[in-house]
């Protein structure tokens, strides 16, 4: 177990603090004539949470999938710092630290939550003692203590998703890509989960791309926002400025306000 006096700002399993960026330049993907993403340039920097928002079908998930390699760009390029990863497989990109989670939450159902997290840490090439230390830090920080010994299959859907995020964090990603991680939760729960991920990622210089449809949730949790509509960038900037942008008000709030 961790010492209660261990400073939260300096986790023992912290990865080296190097400034890094994951970038798509003029990226696009077309599906049978539908331009799901059309010339989008987006950069996620280590230590920040970049919120990717926009109406249904605006290309958020496709953009995330282009960055992690689940989709191959039909135009433009993707870079991890100076390295061109445009044609690199998702698996290869994951080995470089570009990690995506899935909305359904992928865990080993028969393993306990703690075992799931430890297995992910070992898969991330930590030695067993370090893997266990990181496992305990993650369980503590994500508030999974009460269910750590329970089989993952016994958890409700929301906690399975949190356990899947815990597994992703255990691989020590340089960039974590989250597609609506708080789906189904209320606003307060969503803000809490995302702020927890944010704190964890910041202390380890991990960059986070957060796809989230709820403007209220991204306002309180993201360092910057990137807004898409019909596969194109509308605006990027700090949350208060984005919220005041007339185009954002029209396309994002127009229907609701």
Ligand X SMILES: Nc1ncnc2c1ncn2[C@@H]1O[C@H](COP(=O)(O)OP(=O)(O)OP(=O)(O)O)[C@@H](O)[C@H]1O
Question: Could you give the CA distance from residue 179 to residue 68 in angstroms, rounded to a whole number?
Answer: 12
Q: Are 143 and 197 in contact (CB under 8 A)?
A: no
Q: Which residue has the tokens 């949190």?
A: 162
Pick the closer one to ligand X by CB: 11 or 59: 59
Pick the closer one to ligand X by CB: 130 or 183: 183
Shortest Cβ 198–ligand X spacing (Å): 21
Q: Which residue has the tokens 């995330």?
A: 64
Question: Which window, 39-47, 56-64, 119-127, 242-250, contacts ligand X (CB under 6 A)?
Answer: 56-64
Q: Does 56 interact with ligand X (rule: CB under 6 A)?
A: yes
Q: Does 59 interact with ligand X (rule: CB under 6 A)?
A: yes
Q: Which two tokens stand for residue 240?
A: 């208060």
H/E stretch holding 198 reads helix 187-203
Shortest Cβ 240–ligand X spacing (Å): 23
Pick the closer one to ligand X by CB: 12 or 34: 34
Q: Does 36 interact with ligand X (rule: CB under 6 A)?
A: yes
Partner touching 62 among Mg ion, ligand X, none, CB below 5 to 8 Å by kind: ligand X
Pick the closer one to ligand X by CB: 5 or 56: 56
Neighbours of 256 (CB within 10 A): 6
Q: Does 100 interact with ligand X (rule: CB under 6 A)?
A: no
Q: Does 213 interact with ligand X (rule: CB under 6 A)?
A: yes
Q: Which two tokens stand for residue 145?
A: 């203590």
β-bridge pairing 21-31 and 75-80: antiparallel
User: Beta partners for 83?
Assistant: 80
Letter string b/e over residues 207-223, b meaning 16 or more CB atoms within 10 A of that residue's CB: bbbbbbebbebbbebbb
Partner touching 18 among Mg ion, ligand X, none, CB below 5 to 8 Å by kind: none
Partner touching 158 among ligand X, Mg ion, none, CB below 5 to 8 Å by kind: none
Q: Does 54 interact with ligand X (rule: CB under 6 A)?
A: yes
Q: By CB under 6 A, name the binding residues for ligand X.
A: 31, 34, 36, 54, 56-62, 213
């Amino acid at each position: 177990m961790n010492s209660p006096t261990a400073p939260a700002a300096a986790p023992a399993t912290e990865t080296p603090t190097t400034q890094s960026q994951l970038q798509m330049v003029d990226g696009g993907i077309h599906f049978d004539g539908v331009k799901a993403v059309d010339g989008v340039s987006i950069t996620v920097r280590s230590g920040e949470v970049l919120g990717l928002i926009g109406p249904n079908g605006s290309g958020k998930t496709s953009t995330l999938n282009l960055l992690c390699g689940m989709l191959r760009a039909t135009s433009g390029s993707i870079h991890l710092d100076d390295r061109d990863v445009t044609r690199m497989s998702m698996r290869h990109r994951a080995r470089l630290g570009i990690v995506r989670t899935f909305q359904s939450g992928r865990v080993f159902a028969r393993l306990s939550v703690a075992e799931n997290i430890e297995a992910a840490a070992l898969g991330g090439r930590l030695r067993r003692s370090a893997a266990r230390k990181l496992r305990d830090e993650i369980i503590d920080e994500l508030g999974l203590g009460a269910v750590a010994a329970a089989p993952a299959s016994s958890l409700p859907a929301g906690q399975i998703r949190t356990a899947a995020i815990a597994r992703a964090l255990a691989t020590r990603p340089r960039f974590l890509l989250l597609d609506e991680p708080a789906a189904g939760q209320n606003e307060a729960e969503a803000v809490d989960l995302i702020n927890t991920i944010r704190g964890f990622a910041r202390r380890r210089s991990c960059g986070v791309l957060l796809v989230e449809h709820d403007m209220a949730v991204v306002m309180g949790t993201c360092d910057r926002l990137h807004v898409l509509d019909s596969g194109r960038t509308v605006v990027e900037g700090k949350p208060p400025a984005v919220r005041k942008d007339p185009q954002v008000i029209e396309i994002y709030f127009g229907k609701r306000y």
